[in-house]
Every structure is written in C-alpha cells, then in structure tokens.
Amino acid sequence: MNRFARLQLIGPFTLAAVIFAAEAAVYGLEHHTSAFLWYVNLQWFPAFQASYYIISKYISVPYSQLFFVAIPLVVIACAGMWTKRPFLLAIGSNLSFVYTVFVVYAWLHTQTQGSPSASLVPMVASTNPDGVLCLVLLGACLCSFFVSHLIYVRAVRAAG
C-alpha cells in the first residue's frame, strides 16, 4: 500500500472518537446527574444532537450514530488497511467526510434557525467549543478525504 495510506485513517478514527465521546456523554446523563456532563453535552456536542434529531425521524435506535456510523466506518477502514485493499480504505475515508459534512450542516442549520436578519456588521467566527470541535472534525476528515483522492490520482497517472 501507499505510504500515505495510514493518513486515510485519521478521518474515520477522529469521527468515531468524537461520536463515542458524544454518546458517552449522553449515556452518562442517562445514568447520573452531573453538571460537568451537562456542560459537555450542551457546549461540546450540539452538532451531534442536531444530527441525531434528523436521523431519529427515520431510525429511532438509541446510540444510532455510534452503531450505524462510527463502528461501521472504522471497521471498513481497518479492513481495508489489514487486507491491503485501498478501495475499502478510501470508502471509509470518504464516508467519514460525508457524514462530517452532514453533522456540520445539521449544526449550522440549528444555529441559524432563529430569525434570519440582514446586517452590515462583519461576522465573527464562533469560538464556542462546538464550533471548534466541528472545525477540527471537518479538518481531520478533509485531510483523510484529500489523501484518498491523491492516492487514486497517483494510481491513475501511474497506470496511464
């Protein structure tokens, strides 16, 4: 496999880790009342709450993002790495980017769902933890996505 192949694991593993943390916070809140868990859930993971609300319209399974997104993406990416099948690795990488875009879209949709207004005041980027988490997640998955496409462009050039 290519020397950049391991970089494709960044996206699926980062997404899985963040989904696991979000679901762990929800699980902790179900079993314990904690101010820290409330803070973490409300400040760090509203993007995953928003995406869960969209998904729950179709599938109402608890921890569905963990069981139907995070675990399958990591399994696909690891299977591609272990079996030396670059296509499986690229699928895991690209789908992690697609799901991250969905999560960021859901988060932005809930952020702008208030009353729309026009303003001439320049917009300032949010430094809230949820915005930072979304940017880090998007950056990691975009890196993985870019590397998988770079590998395939190089393979096509070498073949032709």
| Average pLDDT along the chain, 160 residues, taken 10 residues at a time | 82 96 92 87 89 89 92 95 92 96 91 61 62 92 94 88
pLDDT at residue 32, as a whole number: 86
> What is the enclosing helix (H) or strand (E) of 96?
helix 86-111
pLDDT at residue 33, as a whole number: 84
Other C-beta atoms closer than 10 Å to the C-beta of 37 total: 18
pLDDT at residue 118, as a whole number: 57
Q: Which residues contact 71 (CB under 8 A, 6 or more apart)?
A: 16
